[in-house]
Amino acid sequence: MIAFLTKRLMHAILVMFVISVLAFAIQGNLGDPIQQMVGQSVPESEREALRERFGLNDPFHTQYLRFAANALQGDFGFSYFYREPALDVIARHLPATLELVFGATLIIVLLSVPIGVYSAIKPRSPISRFFMGVSIIGISVPVFLTAIVLIQIFSIGMTVSLFPQDTAWGSWLNGFLSTEGGMPSFGRGQDLTHMVGYWDSNLFTLGGLRHLALPSIALASIMLPLFIRLIRAEMQEVLQSEYVKFARAKGISLRRIYFVHALKNTLLPVITVGGVQIGTMVAYTILTETVFQWPGMGLMFIDAINRADIPLIVAYLMIVGVIFVVTNTLVDLVYGMVNPTVKLTGKPA
């Protein structure tokens, strides 16, 4: 266990090193940060002085070594735009992103398990077919489109007049399909509960949860179909296995077979995929956060790229790298606990 964690720590350091070099190497293509800091009519001499002050004229290795030396002491540079240490900026934006990912994960877990299990048990029922059909659409529609549609329906509201308004059924259908909107379409709102440090939470007030709802649904929409299909496929496979047949022959109640014996074994691969996907979800938050103006790390990162805020970009990429390593490590640990035949150190079992 300790050997495993040590190895992962080395991984994390290697990942951070490679990312920092790459991030540094591309900064020349990100544009000129000075351009964003001065008015258009500012003379070249003033710009040059600023470039000198920020050390942008130094050769690549000088800049990198200076950064690395500071980074080893926990100083990841100073964001040009926020005028604060980059790590502080990230720490301030992290809780918003984590809460969004948490909300989406919760939706995924609560929906994908029952739907997946149901459609594995009754693959031919119309409800299963409906969910499978919808999930194909879900996988194919890009998240920003989902987000815009959600905003139109639930925030702005939609008047449907597809059906003849002068008939009773037509006006009823129109009324049924029309929405009045009213859900918040941007930001985290003002009803935040202050927790500790940089963490202001959306989770403990109704207003906060209302702000969280649409972005979470949009973010969940990408992963949900994947998990429904995964659980369904795994479950179907498990239901074919010998021990399920035996349990059935033994006369154990179907409910117990499905939810105790079969589901447990279904969840093993789901955990693996899930762990990796949580990392991916952090990446998808960039799109979701942009559309909903959710003040998390994703939006911060997009803005940083637009402003060529290099220290912040480098720090963000490194932090995301760490998040990936950490989630993968946790998944491996959990996996080891759920399935004792897996050995962590990677020797063949």
* 25 scored as a contact of another protein (CB under 8 A): no
Q: Which residues pair with 78 in a beta bridge?
A: 85
Q: How far is CA 330 from the centre of its chain?
A: 17
Q: Which residues face 179 on adjacent strands? A: 158
Nearer of residues 44 and 166 to another protein, judged by Cβ = 44
Q: Which is nearer to another protein, 190 or 341 (CB)?
A: 190
Quick check: 52 binds another protein (CB under 8 A)? no
What's the CA dihedral at 215, 216, 218, 220 to 10 degrees?
160
By rule CB under 8 A, what string of x and - marks binding of each residue 178-207 to another protein?
-xxxxxxxxx--x------------x--xx
Q: Check binding of 63 to another protein (CB under 8 A).
A: no
Crossing angle (nearest 10°) for helices 297-306 and 86-121? 130
Report d(CA 13, CA 17) in Å as an integer: 6
Site for another protein in 234-293 (CB under 8 A): 290-293
**Site for another protein contains 81 (CB under 8 A):** yes
The tokens for 50 are 């600023």
Rank residues 230 and 299 by Cβ distance to another protein and give the closer one: 299
Residue with Cβ nearer another protein (41 or 240):
41
Contact between 88 and another protein by CB under 8 A: the answer reads no
Is the four-CA dihedral 308, 88, 320, 345 of positive or negative sign? positive
Answer yes or no whether residue 44 interacts with another protein by CB under 8 A.
Answer: yes
Q: Are 311 and 76 in contact (CB under 8 A)?
A: yes
Q: Are 336 and 342 in contact (CB under 8 A)?
A: yes
**Which residues lie near another protein (CB under 8 A)?**
29-33, 35-46, 49-50, 53-54, 78, 80-84, 92, 103, 106-107, 110, 148, 151-157, 179-187, 190, 203, 206-207, 209-210, 213, 216-217, 290-293, 295, 299-300, 303, 305-308
